[in-house]
Amino acid sequence: MKGMMMHRPLLVSEILEFGAGAYPNAEIVSVRTEGDVHRETYPEFRNRTVQLAHALKAQGVELGDRVATLAWNGYRHMELYYAISGIGAICHTINPRLSAEQLIYIVNHAEDKLLFLDTTFVPLIAAVKDHLPKDLRYVVMTDAGHMPDAPYEVLCYEDLLAGQSTDIEWPEFDEDTASGLCYTSGTTGNPKGALYTHRSTVLHGMMMSVMQSSTFKEGASVMPVVPLFHVNAWGLPYSSLISGMNMVMPGPAMDGESLFKLMDAEKVFSAWGVPTIWQGLLGEIKKQGRKPEGFEDVVIGGAAAPRSMIEAFEKMDVGVGHAWGMTEMSPVGTHGVLPKWMDDEPFDVRVDYKSMQGRRCIGVDLKIVDEEGNRLPHDGKAVGELFVRGNTVVSGYFKNEEATAKALDADGWFGTGDVAKIDEHGFMSIQDRAKDLIKSGGEWISSIDLENVAMSMPGIANAAAIGVKHPRWDERPILVAVAAEGVEQPSIDEIRDHLSSHFAKWQLPDDIVWVETLPMTATGKISKLNLRKDLADYTHPELRESA
């Protein structure tokens, strides 16, 4: 028997109307490319978004059209998120750190109709424009007074909005209508498009608000350093409006000093980003001898949060939430808020749990399987490939039948390519990306674990563990590291000594290669692919000796 309740489609426009109506004093504060700080309340944001929606219609944007953005975190980017989806078009966020080749591929593949860009990116488009669709139109996200001299025809964002009505009857359509498009960074092969729906986006936004309920306090300020140009800034553009948080947008300046200043000025309560960002901020905190005022919560994800980083934040009373997910999951899948009963656990035990990637979010199912696809127990010991299922997980890739055919297993679960274990409380611990695991003598070594412990040494600022060819053991682990400033560089023996309390002897790295910097991907993670390329001429010490 069917229940008798109304069925209203879950649409992104409802989040906008809800946020603006429920939290009239909440603000979006943005560092602008114009060089100043801009503030607008949620109702002002809502009205400008409606004006933008009318402007998009006037530009001929229709249901299902793709409209691209190439922009930093700021209020205009937020307006685009809501206006594009609100009228039933698809907000295609582009990561400016992609290679020119990838950018050309995705804009052509998405068949974008309009491309909105920050002034910063005018030269970037100039360099690739000849390879982009001929009928693509460009809108620079600024006012007439700040329009740059572009070597191609551009429209002005504020001119488009001017004079448009602030009244709207948002269109209603099926909740499975596409609302957003984000391409994976495609470290191998072409990027693949995750096509989010209104339903998945609204559910993910609500899910994030629930998962963050202990820290998402109405009226407090949240700072997404995680970019709006990739994976929906972990859902913050939606969950902030659902919960009534002020949003503090850093714009292009994401170095430790700029972030510290902004956080201090805006009393940012909760800040979200990848580990490399927090390394910069921690450096600044050390320099200043204090944390930014009001800073109490940090969410770290996108790559494993090193234990030393978690300890540093927790010691200054900044609670760490460690999150895991991927483009194909909207993106968040697990989140590491500790339950109340862990309050009395010793500091080290709490940090152990925070070093894991947390428990599944409501609506996201996890399973780990062996090489034959058999389910493995959640006992904290069994390690297997991680599969996920849920309303916020992709069912395939946009216009890519080949990748779609490979995305799901026979039971409809999505293979993440990550290798993990899950304990009896449901805490999941990512061991590695399957392709980054180091295989020595038929046994696996987690590169993430090695990196984590190595980085707890004062002399090591950043580290990556990779496997290098070895005739007897197939692969052996080595460390590639960046030395910490002002601290003596440890020798490989000292490093092995330090690691030996955490690892079996055969798991210890055989060598260390010191580098100035580690290569990064477009999403701010260490690029093991490029690192392996950089070390193409490297030979294992034993082979060197025998040569």
Amino acid of residue 149: D
CB of 96 to ligand ADP, least distance (A): 13
Residue in 304, 337, 361, 419 binding ligand ADP, rule: CB under 6 A: 304
Restricted to residues 342-361, the positions that interact with ligand ADP (CB under 6 A) are 357
Residue in 301, 321, 384, 467 binding ligand ADP, rule: CB under 6 A: 301
Which pairs count as long-range contacts for 402-405, CB under 8 Å and 24+ apart, including other chains?
A: 403/192
Tokens 């601290």, located at residue: 487
> Is the separation of the CB atoms in 14 and 202 below 8 Å?
yes
> Is the separation of the CB atoms in 329 and 305 below 8 Å?
no
Restricted to residues 361-420, the positions that interact with ligand ADP (CB under 6 A) are 416-418
Residue in 26, 71, 326, 368 binding ligand ADP, rule: CB under 6 A: 326
> Is the separation of the CB atoms in 393 and 364 below 8 Å?
yes
User: Interface with ligand ADP includes 192 (CB under 6 A)?
Assistant: no
User: Interface with ligand ADP includes 303 (CB under 6 A)?
Assistant: yes
Instruction: Compare residues 415 and 459 and give the one whose CB is closer to ligand ADP.
Output: 415
CB of 412 to ligand ADP, least distance (A): 19
> What Å distances lie between residue 309 and 148, 274, 278, 304, 313, CA to CA?
41, 11, 8, 10, 6
CB of 230 to ligand ADP, least distance (A): 6
- The CA-based diameter of the chain, rounded to the nearest angstrom, is 78
Output phi, psi for 266, to 5 deg: -100, 5
Residue in 205, 237, 273, 302 binding ligand ADP, rule: CB under 6 A: 302
Instruction: Compare residues 46 and 528 and give the one whose CB is closer to ligand ADP.
Output: 528
- Of the candidates 221, 265, 271, the residue with the CA atom closest to the CA atom of residue 244: 221
User: Interface with ligand ADP includes 308 (CB under 6 A)?
Assistant: no
User: Interface with ligand ADP includes 322 (CB under 6 A)?
Assistant: yes
Instruction: Compare residues 178 and 386 and give the one whose CB is closer to ligand ADP.
Output: 386
Provide the mask over 468-507, with x wherever binding to ligand ADP is found by CB under 6 A and - wherever it is not. ----------------------------------------
Residue in 85, 119, 177, 185 binding ligand ADP, rule: CB under 6 A: 185
Half-sphere exposure of 425 (CA within 13 A, CB side): 13
User: Interface with ligand ADP includes 422 (CB under 6 A)?
Assistant: no
Lookup: tokens for 332? 């968040």
User: Interface with ligand ADP includes 327 (CB under 6 A)?
Assistant: yes
Please give the Cα distance from 354 to 43 (Å, whole number): 37
Which residue blocks in 317-474 are alpha helix, DSSP H?
A: 347-355, 401-407, 447-454
Which residue blocks in 292-385 are alpha helix, DSSP H?
A: 307-315, 347-355
Instruction: Compare residues 141 and 254 and give the one whose CB is closer to ligand ADP.
Output: 254
Lookup: tokens for 469? 């060819």
Output phi, psi for 360, to 5 deg: -65, 145
> Is the separation of the CB atoms in 92 and 110 below 8 Å?
yes
CB of 201 to ligand ADP, least distance (A): 16
Instruction: Compare residues 122 and 463 and give the one whose CB is closer to ligand ADP.
Output: 463
- Of the candidates 319, 91, 324, 64, the residue with the CA atom closest to the CA atom of residue 173: 64
Stretch touching ligand ADP by CB under 6 A, among 76-84, 98-106, 324-332, 462-470: 324-332
Tokens 């290098």, located at residue: 468
Residue in 30, 240, 431, 523 binding ligand ADP, rule: CB under 6 A: 523
User: Interface with ligand ADP includes 85 (CB under 6 A)?
Assistant: no
What string of DSSP letters covers 199-239? HHHHHHHHHHHHHTTTT--TT-EEEE-S-TTSGGGGGHHHH
Residue in 277, 281, 337, 430 binding ligand ADP, rule: CB under 6 A: 430
- Of the candidates 318, 319, 325, 324, the residue with the CA atom closest to the CA atom of residue 338: 319
CB of 313 to ligand ADP, least distance (A): 14
Please give the Cα distance from 13 to 16 (Å, whole number): 5
User: Interface with ligand ADP includes 231 (CB under 6 A)?
Assistant: yes
Instruction: Compare residues 114 and 274 and give the one whose CB is closer to ligand ADP.
Output: 274
User: Interface with ligand ADP includes 439 (CB under 6 A)?
Assistant: no
Residue in 23, 157, 313, 324 binding ligand ADP, rule: CB under 6 A: 324
CB of 355 to ligand ADP, least distance (A): 10
CB of 540 to ligand ADP, least distance (A): 26
CB of 469 to ligand ADP, least distance (A): 24
Please give the Cα distance from 163 to 309 (Å, whole number): 49
Please give the Cα distance from 344 to 348 (Å, whole number): 11
Q: Active-site residues: which are they?
A: 184, 328, 439, 444
CB of 524 to ligand ADP, least distance (A): 9
Instruction: Count residues binding ligand ADP (CB under 6 A).
Output: 22
- DSSP 8-state code for residue 127: H
**Binding residues vs ligand ADP (CB under 6 A):** 184-185, 231, 301-304, 322-324, 326-327, 331, 357, 416-418, 430, 433, 521, 523, 525
